[in-house]
Structure 1
Amino acid sequence: MDPTTLALLLIVLFFFIAMLYSGIGFGGGSSYLALLSIFYTNFEFIRTTALACNIAVVLGSVLLYYKNGLMDWKRFLPFVAVSIPAAFIGAQFQLSQQVFFILLGFTLIASAVLLLVKTLQSLHTNTKSYPAGSTVALGGGVGLLSGVVGIGGGVFLSPVLNLMRWDEPRKIAALASFFILANSLSGLGGLVASGSLGTDFSLQLLLLFAVFAGGQLGIRLSLGMLKPQLIKSLTAVLVLYVGVRLVLMYSVGIKI
């Protein structure tokens, strides 16, 4: 595929990913990583682009949740207080191409499974309380992984907190947006500090514009014509396929 055609394809796909996921508090990072890893092998470029696109999408979501009074700073800050330094450190890990793509593959497989779990979860009204240590462990662990592979971490955090019944779904979605924004900014900072920033400014600017426009549209429009469960399921299948493909390709040399 020639570069112009590939760029146009990615712009369209990134736009729709951002539009579909901005309204539920996700930035679409796992899907950006999945798509980019099909066409590119420069992992510094892949994770830099995914993190930047996350920021462009979830910034609008965070502002919207803030306007609606859903940003519970007292409960949210302990998560990011640990995840921010963890993401910064994780982004500075020096990995070989093979190790990065194998780790990314397993990460995509896990995120696909968790996305399917979130799709099957029913809404809940009763919540449970947990010790502060669980917040620290969860935020730190997801933050570290976020920095290493180049995601915001919301796709991990949100399903786990829903299973834990940590709070109502809207509050969890608000936390996921804030968590993704904080980790993506920290991860980019870590890439800059380690000299691992991968740039192709002309393409990245176009993709940033596409996801920003898609995210803003997705926040404001009702997607009643599409079933959110179907969208999540189809995306999970794509992410799962790419994850399995990467693990097989970079561990045993099998291409599918």
Structure 2
Amino acid sequence: MEAELLFFVAIFITSILYSSVGHGGASGYLAIMALFAVEPEYMRASALTLNLFVAGISFYYFYKGGYFRLKLLLPFIVLSIPLSFIGARVDVEPKTYQIILGLFLLIAVARMLFFGKPEKAAKPMNLPMALFFGAVLGFFSGMIGIGGGIILSPLLLLMGWASIKETAAISAVFIFLNSASGILGVLSKGFEPIGSIYILIVIGIVGSMLGSSLGQKRMAPVQLMYVLSFVLLFAGIKLIYLS
């Protein structure tokens, strides 16, 4: 019971932190599930389900704040949505899945530690590049069980295509759409979320409302993001090492 309670608390904190920057939190949920030894076959469906609710609420808050730019989103989702469905139907060996997931978690750490940038004016988008990255992110989002925002966000910031809060709004809806497509692909193969998914959904909704409300005014506290980065780093190394 103590371990289960700790698991729920970790999911709750993760949903607050991720939603405050427009993310669904799948990479965090997957890290937590890995730490609590959840079976790999349940991880993708569970993370994508939580993503759906957390990212959806996060998008609503940032959209209401006036930070959403449809023209910037469209090139990324044209190919990402169908490829997320295809990626979710790809069978991956448990060991291979662990290595790929571990690498993506390490990318998430790099994103939070090194890629944060101050607010600045957006530059014109490179359409072919946006289409390419959207396709790649969509495929791996479905295959691994993440929404892709953890990689889309640093891309938007590094390219100067969006401000921080615009990035949060775009990432949130990108994650929502890819997660919806990915979970359809996962469920079409018969995979199911973990048994406590309904409790996790409620926890995720409450956490997302708190985090998204905070994110409209300021980003998540740097100290907490470093703690989350440590968890992701530990889980990523654990997955790769144990595989």
TM-score range, shorter chain: over 0.9
Residue 211 (1) aligns with residue 201 (2): no
Residue 160 (1) aligns with residue 159 (2): no
TM-align CA RMSD: 2.0
The residue that corresponds to 2:103 in the other structure is 106
Contact 1:117 1:159 in 2 (8 A): no
Following superposition, the deviation at residue 217 of structure 1 comes to 1.8
In structure 2, which of residues 162, 168, 172 is the aligned counterpart of residue 173 of structure 1? 168
Residue 32 (1) aligns with residue 29 (2): yes
Q: What amino acid does structure 1 have at the position aligned with 2:241?
A: L
Instruction: Provide the C-alpha distance between the structure 2 equivalents of 1:25 and 1:222, rounded to a whole number of angstroms.
Output: 8
Instruction: Provide the C-alpha distance between the structure 2 equivalents of 1:89 and 1:74, rounded to a whole number of angstroms.
Output: 25
The residue that corresponds to 2:192 in the other structure is 198
In structure 2, which of residues 52, 57, 61 is the aligned counterpart of residue 64 of structure 1? 61
Contact 1:124 1:165 in 2 (8 A): no
In structure 1, which of residues 74, 79, 83 is the aligned counterpart of residue 76 of structure 2? 79
In structure 2, which of residues 121, 135, 139 is the aligned counterpart of residue 144 of structure 1? 139
Residue 116 (1) aligns with residue 113 (2): yes
Q: What amino acid does structure 1 have at the position aligned with 2:208?
A: G
Unaligned regions of 5+ residues in structure 2, if any?
A: none
Instruction: Provide the C-alpha distance between the structure 2 equivalents of 1:235 and 1:187, rounded to a whole number of angstroms.
Output: 25
Q: CA offsets, 1:161-192, max 9 Å, x none?
A: 10111122111111000111011111101101
The residue that corresponds to 2:8 in the other structure is 11
The two structures have a TM-score, normalised by structure 1, of 0.88
Q: What amino acid does structure 2 have at the position aligned with 1:166?
A: W
Q: How many aligned positions are there?
A: 243
The residue that corresponds to 1:229 in the other structure is 222
Structure 1 consecutive aligned stretches of length 4 or more whose deviation exceeds 3 Å: 221-224
Contact 2:117 2:157 in 1 (8 A): no
SS at match of 2:161: coil
**Identity, % of aligned positions:** 32
Instruction: Provide the C-alpha distance between the structure 1 equivalents of 2:39 and 2:192, rounded to a whole number of angstroms.
Output: 8
Following superposition, the deviation at residue 75 of structure 1 comes to 2.2
Q: CA offsets, 1:188-244, max 9 Å, x none?
A: 01101222x23333x1111111111111122234799x9622222221121111111
